[in-house]
Amino acid sequence: MSGLLSLRGLRVAFAGEGGAAMAVRGVDLELEGGEGLALVGESGSGKSATAKAILGLHDMSSTAVTGSVRFEGRELLELGEAELRSFRGRGASMVFQDPGTSFNPLLRMGEQVAEAFRSVAGLDRKAAREAALGLFSRLGIRDPVTRYAQYPHEFSGGMLQRMMILLALAGRPRLLVADEPTTALDVTVQAQVLLFLEELKEELGMAVLLVTHDMGIVAETSTRIAVMYAGRIVETGGTAEVLGSPAHPYTEALLEAMPRPGSRGTRLATILGLPPGVYEADSGCPFFPRCRHALASCMDGLPPSVEAGPGRKSACFRTHSLSLRGIA
């Protein structure tokens, strides 16, 4: 495998009141170096849990992570605490949804940035401060020295998110996992941040795993897309192809539900029903109750992931017999 990241049969189960909550029920995923992959799904589909599992961020005392997560050939799930610590920030890094809460409100911004440089880039205090100031300048912050001493609440959301991204890249990781990086931002700012992300991806030649529920942003940033439903990957493929002609009924439904220009005034399409709960055991195709193309035979066991075209996979019994509508 020349792949950068390879997930095989990844399962994440949380200890809960109703027993074990299966958030991720066997995920297979491949990511090449320098590639942009979008992991798309509704809330509760398990995409964030998948992302966190890669960085080893789950609380091991209450979570069971099984399967295989290989990064550059190394099995991450076998790493000890110290090894994980040196992996984070250098091998792979992560950015979260709400930049406002991602920073410590009581510490000065400059220090929080410099801290990253000291830790992952191994710089000394003086060099780290220089690097941090440089980061401020790069973001177009006027008077970086004054702003260095300011606190997170004195910066705008968009600025914070961009800072967060740069900070995550302080150790020049080969992979950046972005979990809903723009969801908490204004629409106008969203575009800025995405562009910023794209620039950096090019500049550093790193892979970006973009986790989102927003189909609208995947086109600009990711060349490939993986759709997740109820803890499983239901479709993977090139972004353009999947969006143009989805292979899985769930993908089709998702695309239909997207608000489009010109759709003003018409009712938004919804997917009726709810996804299966995390405590429910597997029995048949998980999308069965909500699928407009479902047949009785769809309930016979889990649909396997089959080839739906070159570089395309879909986990649907009826993959080859369906022709689904996408967006142009």
Instruction: Return d(Cα 246, Cα 270) in angstroms, integer.
Output: 17
Does residue 153 interact with another protein by CB under 8 A? yes
In this structure, the strands spanning 5-16 and 92-95 are unpaired
Q: Which stretch binds another protein (CB under 8 A): 27-35, 114-122, 208-216, 277-285?
A: 114-122
- Interface stretch with another protein, choices 69-77, 99-107, 243-251, 288-296 (CB under 8 A): 99-107
- Based on CB atoms, which residue is closest to another protein, 96 or 250? 96
Of 57 and 258, the one with the shorter C-beta distance to another protein is: 57
The number of CA neighbours under 13 Å toward the Cβ of 219 is 10
- Residue 210 makes contact with another protein by CB under 8 A: no
In the chain, beta strands by DSSP E: 5-16, 19-31, 36-40, 63-71, 74-75, 92-95, 175-179, 207-212, 224-229, 232-238, 306-309, 312-314
Give the rounded distance of the alpha carbon of 164 from its chain centre: 15
Tokens of 249: 């009924």
Please work out the total of residues on this chain that contact another protein, with binding judged by CB under 8 A.
Answer: 29
Span near another protein by CB under 8 A; candidates 100-108, 139-147, 190-198, 209-217 = 100-108
What's the number of CA atoms in the CB half-sphere (13 Å) around residue 119?
A: 15
In this complex, which beta carbon is closest to another protein, that of residue 59 or of residue 143? 59
Minimum CB distance to another protein, residue 154 (Å): 8
**CB-CB neighbours of 91 under 10 Å:** 20
Binding to another protein by residue 224, rule CB under 8 A?
no
Q: Which of 4, 168, 175, 234 binds another protein (CB under 8 A)?
A: 168
Closest C-alpha to 269, from 281, 260, 278, 282 = 260
Nearer to another protein, 56 or 249 (CB): 56
Dist. CA 6–CA 239, nearest whole Å = 19
Interface with another protein, residue 55, by CB under 8 A: yes
- Please report whether residue 151 would count as binding another protein according to CB under 8 A: yes
* CA–CA separation, 304 and 315 (whole Å): 5
Candidates 6, 63, 102, 251; binder of another protein (CB under 8 A) is: 102
In the set 38, 167, 217, 253, which binds another protein (CB under 8 A)? 167
* Footprint on this chain of another protein (rule: CB under 8 A): 55, 57, 85-86, 88-90, 93-94, 96, 98, 101-107, 115-116, 119-120, 151, 153, 164, 167-168, 170-171
